[in-house]
Amino acid sequence: MKEIRAYKTWISLGALFLVGAFIWFCSIPQGVSSEAWHLFAIFTVTLIGIILKPFPMSVISLIALTVAIVTNTLPIVDAFSGFSNEIVWLVVFAFFISRGFISTGLGSRIAYQIMSVFGKNSLGLGYGLVLTDLILAPTIPSVTARIGGVVFPILKSINEVFTGPSHDPKMGAFLTQVTFQGSMITSAMFLTSMAGNPLIAEIAKSQGIDMTWGSWLTAAIVPGILSLIFIPYILHYLAPPSIQRTPHARAMALEKLEKLGPMKRQEKIMLGAFVLLIVLWVMGPYIGMKATAAAMVGMCVLLITKIIQWQDVLQERGAWDTFIWFSILITFAAYLNKLGFIAWMSHSLVFYVEGFHWVIGFILICLMYFYSHYLFVSCVAHISAMYIPLLMIAIAIGTPPGLAAFVLGFFSSLMGALTHYGTGQAPILFSTGYLTTGQWWGRGLVCSFANIFIWLVFGGLWWKVLGLW
């Protein structure tokens, strides 16, 4: 068996080398620098390697970073720039905060509360997690903070109830994917639910398009609710948990809550730190505090009060593993943009929409924008690189400006659900280990088809009623 695994590893490595060499030595397109093209080759091979998995993800990413440095594609200082990225550290701090929820028992208490209300079946549990996120979404502008710091600990506690040695790991996979897909839908529904949305509003304003909090919600409410209803059903159909009905879950949850008794001192401290985090995340834009800084404050409170120990931080293997591969992917994506590759790709897309009726042309623009996210590890980076040129192209071919601005704005969140690295909360949820990379990507692709259909068809009818076109 070991010999077979070693054989597969060398076959995968050989295939990766051939793909990388082919792209590397291809004729470089006009308008693209050699550094940008070579980095594109390394990034492409890295993504394929993550799928084939000849080695763990961090090992593949580290090898790719080494190749980029040794070949002088990236200077060593630039190559390590992703390790200081604030989103990366927000993800890492979210892991540590979630440990406090688990260790104090507060996460279990919240999980049992959700189960007592929605716990009739597995689908109900999924909707309970989505509803939790929907309630928080308008007030927490960082989806990474919202999911990583608030929903993830609750999800983890529920998974521990249902996915123990004698339970159902498929339940964990289903609930994790519902949480992830739901978080990108809620991010698209409010101007304040994703960090990139205010940036979109500012860009649209520069083009004479006014996007207020109310107009954003009005345009997103119908397709958003439909997506939140149907996406959990689709995921449940794609990979149904072995435990379909949980008739005793509510009774069990109430029994567990009774055994837990009143909140203990540590739980109250954890709850206080949690409330402090929420306040800081909500007030952050008004007091000049970044989401990562707020997470640091929360973590320090937990360390000072000994809710979590420094040894817990050192032993959080998932956090440090994610720190390595996520930092490297962020570096690659950032420098593909900085070296001009993304701008070249955006302008090259114009050729494919010229001559079409604006409806067809705009749909093609939306699809290009959506699926180009495979090249990005941040929705905000994607918005910064491609939103302006594609919005201008859409308006130039005759798309009503308001419609173009809103739809591309909504897709700026929805596209984040494609991969396990495309947005900040993705690596946190992927770290649960319930899904392989292939399963994550496959279900993300299916859900993307459903979301695009819902938002363009049913959303399109709603936007017609609103007079956007």
> How distant, in Å, are the alpha carbons of 43, 96, 306 from that of 20?
9, 37, 48
Location of structure tokens 């899904």: 435
State percent of the chain over pLDDT 70: 94
Flag whether pLDDT at 110 surpasses 50.
yes
Hey, what long-range contacts does 62-65 have (CB within 8 A, 24 or more apart)?
A: 62/324, 62/328, 64/328, 64/332, 65/328, 65/331
Dihedral of alpha carbons 384, 469, 194, 200, sign? positive
Residues 376, 196 contacting (CB under 8 angstroms): no
**Helix axes of 388-396 and 196-206: crossing angle, nearest 10 degrees:** 40
- Calpha distance 233→375 (Å, rounded): 28
pLDDT tens for residues 232-255?
999 999 888 877 776 666 776 787
Flag whether pLDDT at 195 surpasses 90.
no
Residue 170, classified by CB atoms within 10 Å of its CB into exposed (0-12), middle (13-18) or buried (19+), is: middle
What tokens appear for 50 in the block? 């993550």
Category of 235 on φ-ψ map: left (φ > 0), alpha (ψ -120 to 50) or beta: alpha
Q: Is 121 helix (H, G, I), strand (E, B) or coil?
A: strand
- Calpha distance 146→139 (Å, rounded): 9
Residues 437, 325 contacting (CB under 8 angstroms): no
Residues 154, 129 contacting (CB under 8 angstroms): yes
191-207 residues labelled b (16+ CB within 10 A) or e (exposed): bbbbbbbebbbebbeee
Q: Closest by alpha carbon to 348, among 27, 1, 29, 8?
A: 29
**Helix axes of 388-396 and 341-348: crossing angle, nearest 10 degrees:** 10
Residues 333, 379 contacting (CB under 8 angstroms): no
Q: What is the pLDDT of residue 410?
A: 97
pLDDT tens for residues 320-358?
988 888 888 888 878 887 898 877 876 776 677 777 889
- Calpha distance 252→465 (Å, rounded): 47
Sequence-distant (≥ 6) Cβ neighbours of residue 21 within 8 angstroms? none
What's the angle, vertex CA 331, arms to CA 343 and CA 326, rounded to 5? 125
Residues 121, 245 contacting (CB under 8 angstroms): yes
Q: What's the whole-number average pLDDT of the chain?
A: 86
Flag whether pLDDT at 91 surpasses 50.
yes
Location of structure tokens 């990139």: 196
Flag whether pLDDT at 419 surpasses 60.
yes
Q: Which residues pair with 245 in a beta bridge?
A: 121
- Calpha distance 403→463 (Å, rounded): 8
| Residue ranges of domains in the chain | 1-78, 86-194+211-319
pLDDT tens for residues 271-327?
898 888 878 877 887 888 887 888 899 899 999 999 999 998 898 887 898 888 888
